[in-house]
Amino acid sequence: DTEVTQTPKHLVMGMTNKKSLKCEQHMGHRAMYWYKQKAKKPPELMFVYSYEKLSINESVPSRFSPECPNSSLLNLHLHALQPEDSALYLCASSQGVRGGYGYTFGSGTRLTVV
Amino acid sequence: AQTVTQSQPEMSVQEAETVTLSCTYDTSESDYYLFWYKQPPSRQMILVIRQEAYKQQNATENRFSVNFQKAAKSFSLKISDSQLGDAAMYFCAYRSPLPDNYGQNFVFGPGTRLSVLP
């Protein structure tokens, strides 16, 4: 298995909803990442989970909450989002945070906040 | 901090022709890695090619090749025999061997949108 699987592919949610995005990989990668991508822009790092440690981009609002139940799964819990949070959310994994490994990306979740 | 610049926001190429996408970067590190990623309308970021800075030989992957000029901090991507399926956003990326305090060691350029004309 050489894929990163993200579900759902599309999500529309109201500003008072609570939802979760799921990311799964079975490549034995030790690092997983959540990125946010606006249209025609490069991805922006939100969270890194590696070797059981979570690193957070300080600019990410608390309405985004990551969770790593095990080394193959990385969830992103969403609560009280704003319309400006509408974006493509990409999950990626890497063999490790050190070295020259590339990232394997999932196909993303297109999130629309109404 | 490292920065990556792609000076061509948009480019177009005729099918079967060759096109070169530019990328420059700024770093004080001597050891690092460079990547080109492709993002078609299907959204998934796909690794196109990878270059290790300590290797002088330019990386190639089928129709894709790079011109890596370490002294000039330049890393351009050449696509030969362009195909309609090559139409996508292309991101140049720099990776430090060690992450910063936030676990970040990947820096993406702003991207170049490539159109392939039939």
Residue B104 to residue A99, Cβ atoms within 8 A = no
Which value, to the nearest 10 degrees, does the dihedral of the CA atoms of residues B37, A102, A48, B4 take?
-50
Task: Give the tens place of pLDDT for each residue, B42-99.
Answer: 789 999 999 999 998 999 999 999 999 999 999 999 999 999 999 999 999 999 888 7
Cβ atoms of residues A47 and A33 within 8 Å: yes
Residue B45 to residue A48, Cβ atoms within 8 A = no
Task: Give the tens place of pLDDT for each residue, B24-51.
Answer: 999 999 899 999 999 998 789 999 999 9
Which DSSP string corresponds to B48-98? EEEEETT--SPPEETTEEEEEETTTTEEEEEE-S--GGG-EEEEEEEE-SS
- Minimal Cα–Cα distance from A82 to chain B, Å? 23
Q: Is the pLDDT of residue B100 over 90?
A: no
Cβ atoms of residues A111 and A86 within 8 Å: yes
| E strands, A1-114, in order | 4-7, 10-13, 18-25, 31-37, 44-50, 53-56, 64-70, 73-79, 87-94, 104-105, 109-113
